[in-house]
Amino acid sequence: MTPQDLRRHFPALEDKAYMNWASIGLIPGPAVAAGSAALAAQAELGDGIITDAKPTLERLRQRSARLIGADPGEVAFLRNTVEGVSTIASGFPWRSGDNVLVGTVEFPANVYPWLHAQRKGMEVRFVEPSEGALSVDDFAAAADEHTRMIAVSAVQFTNGYRIDLGALSEFCQERDIRLAVDSIQALAIAPFDVSETPIDYMAAGVHKWLCGPVGFGFFYVRQDRLDELELNEVGHGSHVRPGDSWTEYDWPLREDAGRFEAGALSFAHAAACDAALELFEETGVATIHGHATGLAQLLIEGLQSEGYRPLLPQPASQAAGIVTFKSERHSPESIEERLRDAGIFISLREGAVRISIHGANTSDEIDALIAALP
């Protein structure tokens, strides 16, 4: 499927230019249909939905594992990024005096769970980016012999900077430091493959670039780290029921990452997510990334020629779909308003205008954005 074909699955793009995927993605038509069908199935079947939904859950587990180069047994479905990060932060076997390195530019979803885990005797050590974006060198300078974990976003939400995860992974492996990645700003827009770039844990909601529903997320735990995490939540979902009884509480714990799915999952969310992911699989993340970073480059050049200041005009290898900029002459709010009046939807973050470009966007939309700027 080409980016043009992908675009046809987003009916909302017929009458607006949406460049706000880094905030909330539009849900493509087939995903709306699949989610609605799952609700209709429960309306019709009642408890038959459990059998009915099984193949979808299985397919989604395979698809989400393929997306990140993992084994299906290493993937769990949770509600959002925070739940995934909390599962790591609260479940990790901290020793008193340990520290975790966290950037000062992280979204709170990747900060509060670590701060909360300080009650376990570990310390959150904040790392300041030295040159606008967090780099491997920044982490290397902050790490010491008590550093047990580095928590980082694959793509920074404020400026779209894609950290060199390969180099960070090597750094962590050499020092036996765990690497926990918030990948919500990377999945479906930038290559992300744990079979090439080993990490220990990953958490991501699906409601941004993956264009799934709000309230559903992927969690990855490397096979050999499964038993490292203490479970915060356990329930019937975390266990295997060996026979027919529901009240013999001697069920063994699931051997795969499914043990983190303590109770019932949202079948409607899973079905919608599966259909959205199918579109991205058919298009290919490498194609989407090439398309989006090409448009981002056009945008950066257009902005510069109009006197705007892109914050991080990074090379495509370190870019995802986000471009942020400021103006000496106009406030971010007035720029957003002008763009909204022209039917172009973007967002503001930390005093800058943030444009997020996906595979479904076009060069005409970039031209229209440049033309609409004050």
Ligand X SMILES: Cc1ncc(COP(=O)(O)O)c(C=O)c1O
Position among 56, 87, 110, 135 found at the interface with ligand X (CB under 6 A): 110
| Coil, strand or helix at 353 | strand
> By CB under 6 A, which span of 28-36, 74-82, 135-143, 162-170 interacts with ligand X?
74-82
Return the CA Rg of the chain.
21
- By the 10 Å C-beta count (0-12 exposed, 13-18 middle, 19+ buried), 287 is classed as middle
Decide: is 135 part of the binding site for ligand X (CB under 6 A).
Answer: no
Q: Is 157 in the site for ligand X (CB under 6 A)?
A: yes
Phi, psi of 113 (to 5 degrees): -60, -35
What is the spatial distance between Cα 105 and Cα 196, in angstroms, rounded to a whole number?
26
* Residue entry with tokens 């290397």: 140
Q: Using CB under 6 A, which of 91, 191, 205, 359 touches ligand X? A: 205
> Is the CB of 227 or the CB of 350 nearer to ligand X?
350
Q: With binding defined as CB under 6 A, does residue 21 bind ligand X?
A: no
Does 184 engage in binding with ligand X (CB under 6 A)?
A: yes
Choose the binding region for ligand X from 41-49, 112-120, 178-186, 231-239 (rule: CB under 6 A). 178-186
Is the Cβ–Cβ distance between 122 and 75 less than 8 Å?
no
CA 97 from centre of chain:
30
- For residue 238, state whether it binds ligand X (rule: CB under 6 A): no
Judged by CB under 6 A, the stretch of 135-143, 179-187, 319-327, 353-361 that binds ligand X is 179-187
**Please, what is the minimum distance in Å from the beta carbon of residue 87 to ligand X?**
12
Q: Does 288 bind ligand X (CB under 6 A)?
A: no
Residue 114 and residue 65 in contact, taking contact as beta carbons nearer than 8 Å: no
Rounded to whole angstroms, the Cα distance separating 267 from 270 reads 5
The answer to the question of residue 80 lying near ligand X (CB under 6 A) is yes
Count Cβ atoms within 10 A of the Cβ of residue 96 and give its class: 0-12 exposed, 13-18 middle, 19 or more buried.
exposed
Q: How far is the CB of 69 from ligand X (least distance, A)?
A: 20
CA pair distance 325, 340, nearest whole angstrom: 17
Q: Taking contact as CB under 6 A, which single stretch among the options 40-48, 107-115, 140-148, 233-241 is the one that binds ligand X? A: 107-115
Nearer to ligand X, 80 or 169 (CB): 80
Interface positions with ligand X (CB under 6 A): 80-82, 107, 109-110, 153, 157, 182, 184-185, 205, 217
